[in-house]
Homo-oligomer: A and B are copies of this chain.
Amino acid sequence: MANIKDVAKRANVSVATVSRVINNKGYVNEETRILVENAIKDLKYIPNEFARSLYKKVSKSIGVIFPHLSNSFYYNVLEGIESFAFEIGYKVIICNSHEDEIREEEYLNQFIKYNIDGIIIGSNSNIISRYKELNIPMVSIDRIIDEEIPSVTSDNVAGGYLAGKKLIEQGCKHIVHFRGPSILLTVKDRSSGFNRCLEEHGLSCNQVDLAFINPEKELIADYLQSHEETDGIFCDSDIIGAIVLSELHRLGRRVPEQVQVIGYDNLLLSELVIPKLTTISQRMVEMGEEAMLSLHSLIQNEELTNIHKLIPIELIERESTKK
């Protein structure tokens, strides 16, 4: 691998001049520039970023900490982050915390070693203080971990509200909310939006708490069996929605004629079940892009006009609700 000295030698100039050419900085005579550029081409010279970063203390890379990777939310967000990062010349180092604080801390140390320019956190981090003392530009995604730390979240309150509104508009009276784990802020927000909407219309609903990954099918089956009057169901995920549909099918209840169902996430799945699932869609890729955008501003020391970005949701109407 050729280095800057080799180029300088071949072009008969000093390394400083070569550096000026590479960085387009300072005075360089046009002829000299061409000489240097040719030498660079001849030697297939590519500047060493380590040396550069060592001096400039900038790594042109950001770290992304997620609690999981195999989850459509995170990899779609990651897609958005990567996409925008590439545009502005940033590398993305991916970290899977596995919801493990020790692992997260180890990654944090790595970040320092590598002069990482910024961090995007999607994990349920309890080590915020550690993050804050690091003083590295940082953006949280999907949750607000601290008032001072910029965030990008999906408008979960609006998501819940919209789902409620749709069910009510289509005439549902006996509504149930199959919720995700209620420790999650996102779930709480959806609940609060949903409940507010019902209250505004003089209604209330039952809540059944479920896990996201492996929702207990039995709980769903039991509830549906013992609540024949149910005519509207809001599920905190399409996976729960799909299970609900299959249970309703087993019980012989017609969707959407007798019961209407709304899911959440707009997974591929929601198009493949019968009937196709009406769902709330989060703009995940956009969330990733917005997070990277905020982070970039932060890195550039720009003022953020909007510290806490709220990304709108959409209701995707399919066949599990009435028109």
**A51 contacts partner chain B, Cβ-Cβ < 8 Å:** yes
> Which listed segment binds B: A109-117, A222-230, A289-297?
A109-117
A122 vs chain B, min Cβ distance (A): 14
Q: Which of B69, B95, B272 contacts A243 (CB 8 A)?
A: B272
Known: A109-B46, A269-B269. A70 touches B72 (CB 8 A): yes
With A75-B70, A113-B49, A272-B273 as contacts: A82 and B94 at CB distance below 8 Å: yes
Q: Are B70 and A59 within 8 A (Cβ)?
A: no
Structural contact, A115 and B243, CB atoms closer than 8 A: no
| Interface residue stretch chosen among A29-37, A85-93, A199-207 | A85-93
Please determine whether B46 and A113 come into contact, CB atoms closer than 8 angstroms.
yes
Q: Are B272 and A246 in contact (CB under 8 A)?
A: yes
Report how many residues on chain A are interfacial, defined by Cβ distance under 8 Å: 47
Q: Is A14 an interface residue (CB 8 A)?
A: no
Interface residues of A in 89-123 (CB under 8 A from B): 91-96, 103, 106, 109-110, 112-115
Q: A46-B109, A79-B70, A91-B110 are in contact. Are A86 and B61 (CB under 8 A)?
A: no
Whether A86 contacts B96 in the complex (CB less than 8 A), given A50-B59, A70-B76, comes out as: yes
15 A-B pairs in the complex with CB atoms less than 8 angstroms apart:
A49-B114, A50-B50, A50-B54, A51-B54, A61-B93, A68-B79, A70-B75, A75-B75, A86-B106, A91-B110, A93-B94, A94-B94, A246-B272, A246-B274, A274-B274
A residues engaging B (CB < 8 A)?
1, 46-51, 53-54, 59, 61, 68-70, 72, 75-76, 78-79, 82-83, 86, 91-96, 103, 106, 109-110, 112-115, 239, 242-243, 246, 249, 268-269, 272-274, 285
